[in-house]
Structure 1
Amino acid sequence: MHVVLISACEKRALKRSRAILDSYALRAGERAWATPITLEGLQELRAALKRTASRHTAVACYRNEGMRRMCLLWIVGSARHFGPHGHFPAGTTRRKKPEIPSWIRYAALLADAAGQGHDVGKASKAFQLKLRDFKLEQKDSLRHEWVSLKIIQALRTGADWDTAWRRLETQPEREGVPFDEHGLTNVFDAFDFLVVSHHGLFGPRAGDAALSAENHVRSTPAFELAQYRPHAELPVLSLALLHKKLRRLEKITPPADVSIPLYWRALSLIARAGLILADHAISSLTKTKAAELYANTQQIKGQNHRPLNQPLDQHLSDVSSLAGRMT
């Protein structure tokens, strides 16, 4: 057969590919070679190119199929220099990517940060005991979303992990909602809203006729605040990631010509959708790695026992990453 070889190599790959091609074919131009060759010889040439290939290598081989056309046989290295049928461009034009609007970036950052902190409250003794003993009452006296909110608010003030949990015992658990009167006035109001509402918006309990701030915590006789102490500490890396994402939120500034409460509310609604979808998607996966803290359990049809599933730190990281991409 008769073949033509075209090199679009760059940098050091150009010198290496030239040395190989010169030993198998005759030059027909600065970056072109042509030669009659057997199938075995062509296979040997391709193998030699592959052995020295790098990300800067790009060599295309065409077979002469008579007077009508040349047929692309293969490309070694990067194919981006060639068209779908091996055509080499006479020139290239680069188009500037349109800039992503700031509100889209900010919504993604909010969802990403909220994903890293949304289930921090699951580190409580009460929640971890519930996961390990499915026969226990499954309704939380104090919702894990609310615990997550209070813990993160304490961490933002500079408290360490243990101090943040101790504050749950000294501060009234029904206080501290920052968005009930004046709406969302800053980025951390929006973040808090995402964390505390990722399972449901604030509202009355089933059967109640009116909204009441008293209804966000179940008032049961068995409720003991001592149950809401940490079962174990989150891994250092997970807490460091949370602090890093919170610092990143500080750089978000809304445009000067917008209504602040409406702006944060709009961003929160978009980010909340991404957070909820990501949480559902990640929670449906099975990850049985050993850990001290878990996010959920596996549901196995026909069995009363539910194995522990998803280490909490991995769940937070995965939801954070997916929520940021989905928003």
Structure 2
Amino acid sequence: MNILLICQCDKRALVETRRILDQFAERRGERTWQTPITQAGLDTLRRLLKKTARRNTAVACHWIRGLDHSELLWIVGDAGRFNEQGAVPTNSTRRDVLRKHDENDWHSAEDIRLLAQMAALLHDLGKASTAFQARLRQHSATRNLYRHEWVSLRLFLAFVGDDDDAGWLQRLASSDPQYDHYWLAAHRFKRDGLDADTPPPFRNLPPLAAAIAWLVVSHHRLPTLPVDEHHQQQEKPRFGARSKTFNPKRLHNILDGITHQWNELGNNAPTADIQPYWQFDQPLPVALPKWRTQAAKLAQRLLALQNKPGKGDWLANPYIMHLARLSLMLADHHYSSLAPEDARRVKGDSDYTVFANTHSDGTLKQPLDEHLLGVARMSGSVVHGLPGFERHLPRLLRHRGLRKRSGNERFRWQDKAADASSSLRT
């Protein structure tokens, strides 16, 4: 192989490095060497440089692979004197002259933020049910018959009804109390296990409502194909158990087939046990002033968003949906962990006695309306930080273990994927 060595050492380290490099390669300048070399010779050179390296040592080795292509193999010493490709800066300053990091090309950031925030206002509405509030106060550890995110989904769909996205958004943006009954109206609110007509929720939903509904129902765990009844009879029922048979035809319009059994194990509980999951003794947060105000603001922004060219069918964009779900889940977990005296807690409406969670000792913690408002705000903060997220993370550059090719045939596809990704770099 043909290599190019760049030396950015100074002081005594420069003298020692020149002595070693002169034994292996010819000088092409005061701080540059070039030579053909075998892999064994290159390994020996690197070992000698490491052995004699000082604080001021900095040597980069480039493999000249073709007429217009070179690859940085390694850096010995201070890697901060080179960039990620092994180039040496012409000049440097601590001033942020271009303020390049303040700009970003995230064309979908607004979509991600608004989807995550609207889903945050809706994600735990099901916790207002009689069953969930009883669980919080009685510290019950038994399995839910219906999980709160599924009830939240049904509440949201009741408000959407048969309208298109513009219809339900305009109602939400109006903050008009005359629409409050839509959330629990008998002909709109479909109660699984109680009502005869409970169609799969994602069937015939408009695109924006479908995207938000997906975030609501998946903010804890993804819907999972239920195992067949024969399998459950043979083994102890377990949600998420692998089915021994699978029909690929299920993948066609798979969302249309999702039912409550994709969210929790099916059950044959009596009606009296199911009823509390669909019963609400206290008003929903949707009737409270602060929730209304925030929902109206987001609805107005979503109305403007969906009217922009090229917007629609968000569920078909895994990039947007994945980051919106990530932001919602991170905000939900983090806000739930905040202590009562934390300044990041928001203030909900007073005298609301429906709660979202408990402290570790079992005492009630965050009112539900505050929790929804707080998670919505924090979701926006998470999305706002995503474009600059990379700058603040520690990283592993040129890590030998990560660059090494896989010795296991099962994982060779990862090497191919890494090669393909590297080839796309500009």
- The TM tier, using the shorter chain, reads 0.5 to 0.7
In structure 2, C-alpha distance between the alignment counterparts of 1:155 and 1:259, rounded to whole Å: 20
| Corresponding position of 2:45 | none
In structure 1, C-alpha distance between the alignment counterparts of 2:312 and 2:98, rounded to whole Å: 41
The alpha-carbon deviation at position 194 of structure 1 amounts to 0.5
Instruction: Give the 5 Å matches for 1:255-270.
Output: 260=313, 263-270=316-323
In structure 1, C-alpha distance between the alignment counterparts of 2:338 and 2:99, rounded to whole Å: 41
Is the alpha carbon distance of 1:317 and 1:138 closer, same or farther for their aligned partners in structure 2, counting shifts above 3 Å? farther
Code of the residue aligned with 1:143 in structure 2: it is: R
Is residue 200 from structure 1 mapped to residue 221 from structure 2 by the alignment? yes
3-state SS, counterpart of residue 154 of structure 1? helix
3-state SS, counterpart of residue 305 of structure 2? coil
In structure 2, C-alpha distance between the alignment counterparts of 1:173 and 1:325, rounded to whole Å: 40
TM-score in terms of structure 1 length: 0.59
- Could you list the per-position Cα deviations for residues 159-188 of structure 1 after superposition, in whole angstroms to 9, with x for gaps in the alignment? 844442242348558533327xx9x97222
Is residue 311 from structure 1 mapped to residue 370 from structure 2 by the alignment? no
Code of the residue aligned with 1:308 in structure 2: it is: L
Q: Are the equivalent residues in 2 in contact too, given 1:131–1:296 (CA < 8 A)?
A: yes
Residue 152 of structure 2, aligned match among 139, 148, 152: 148
| Corresponding position of 1:294 | 355
- Could you list the per-position Cα deviations for residues 234-253 of structure 1 after superposition, in whole angstroms to 9, with x for gaps in the alignment? 22321442243234222224
Q: Are the equivalent residues in 2 in contact too, given 1:121–1:147 (CA < 8 A)?
A: yes
Q: Are the equivalent residues in 1 in contact too, given 2:201–2:258 (CA < 8 A)?
A: no
Q: Are the equivalent residues in 2 in contact too, given 1:108–1:324 (CA < 8 A)?
A: yes
RMSD: 3.5
Q: Are the equivalent residues in 1 in contact too, given 2:314–2:320 (CA < 8 A)?
A: no
Is residue 133 from structure 1 mapped to residue 138 from structure 2 by the alignment? yes
Is residue 101 from structure 1 mapped to residue 106 from structure 2 by the alignment? yes
Q: Going by fraction, where is helix more abundant, 1 or 2?
A: 2
The alpha-carbon deviation at position 119 of structure 1 amounts to 0.5
Residue 327 of structure 2, aligned match among 274, 287, 296: 274
In structure 2, C-alpha distance between the alignment counterparts of 1:251 and 1:228, rounded to whole Å: 34
Q: Are the equivalent residues in 1 in contact too, given 2:207–2:312 (CA < 8 A)?
A: no
3-state SS, counterpart of residue 203 of structure 1? coil
Is the alpha carbon distance of 1:258 and 1:191 closer, same or farther for their aligned partners in structure 2, counting shifts above 3 Å? closer
| Corresponding position of 1:164 | 183
Residue 291 of structure 2, aligned match among 200, 215, 238: 238
Is the alpha carbon distance of 1:173 and 1:228 closer, same or farther for their aligned partners in structure 2, counting shifts above 3 Å? farther
In structure 2, C-alpha distance between the alignment counterparts of 1:168 and 1:185, rounded to whole Å: 18
Instruction: Give the 5 Å matches for 1:1-327.
Output: 98=103, 101-134=106-139, 136-157=140-161, 160-165=179-184, 166=186, 167-169=189-191, 175-178=199-202, 186-204=207-225, 205-209=239-243, 213-214=258-259, 215-216=261-262, 217=264, 218-222=266-270, 223-233=273-283, 234=285, 235-253=288-306, 260=313, 263-287=316-340, 291-300=352-361, 306-327=362-383
In structure 1, C-alpha distance between the alignment counterparts of 2:312 and 2:132, rounded to whole Å: 39
Is the alpha carbon distance of 1:162 and 1:96 closer, same or farther for their aligned partners in structure 2, counting shifts above 3 Å? same
Aligned residues: 227
| Corresponding position of 1:3 | none
In structure 2, C-alpha distance between the alignment counterparts of 1:242 and 1:255, rounded to whole Å: 20
Identify unmatched segments of 5+ residues in structure 2. 1-96, 162-170, 172-177, 226-238, 251-256, 342-349, 384-426
3-state SS, counterpart of residue 147 of structure 1? helix
In structure 2, C-alpha distance between the alignment counterparts of 1:261 and 1:109, rounded to whole Å: 12
TM-score in terms of structure 2 length: 0.46
Is the alpha carbon distance of 1:127 and 1:265 closer, same or farther for their aligned partners in structure 2, counting shifts above 3 Å? same
In structure 2, C-alpha distance between the alignment counterparts of 1:115 and 1:298, rounded to whole Å: 21
3-state SS, counterpart of residue 357 of structure 2? strand
Code of the residue aligned with 2:112 in structure 1: it is: A
- Could you list the per-position Cα deviations for residues 240-280 of structure 1 after superposition, in whole angstroms to 9, with x for gaps in the alignment? 42243234222224886699466543211110000000100
Is the alpha carbon distance of 1:273 and 1:97 closer, same or farther for their aligned partners in structure 2, counting shifts above 3 Å? closer
Code of the residue aligned with 1:178 in structure 2: it is: F
In structure 2, C-alpha distance between the alignment counterparts of 1:164 and 1:310, rounded to whole Å: 23
Q: Are the equivalent residues in 2 in contact too, given 1:187–1:264 (CA < 8 A)?
A: no
The sequence identity of aligned pairs, in percent, is: 26
Q: Are the equivalent residues in 2 in contact too, given 1:278–1:326 (CA < 8 A)?
A: yes
Q: Which shifted more, 262-271 or 145-154? A: 262-271
Is the alpha carbon distance of 1:253 and 1:101 closer, same or farther for their aligned partners in structure 2, counting shifts above 3 Å? farther
Q: Are the equivalent residues in 2 in contact too, given 1:296–1:308 (CA < 8 A)?
A: yes
Is the alpha carbon distance of 1:230 and 1:277 closer, same or farther for their aligned partners in structure 2, counting shifts above 3 Å? same
Code of the residue aligned with 1:311 in structure 2: it is: P
Code of the residue aligned with 1:221 in structure 2: it is: A
In structure 2, C-alpha distance between the alignment counterparts of 1:188 and 1:298, rounded to whole Å: 33
Identify unmatched segments of 5+ residues in structure 1. 1-91, 301-305
Q: Are the equivalent residues in 1 in contact too, given 2:306–2:312 (CA < 8 A)?
A: no
The alpha-carbon deviation at position 96 of structure 1 amounts to 12
Code of the residue aligned with 1:146 in structure 2: it is: W
| Corresponding position of 1:62 | none
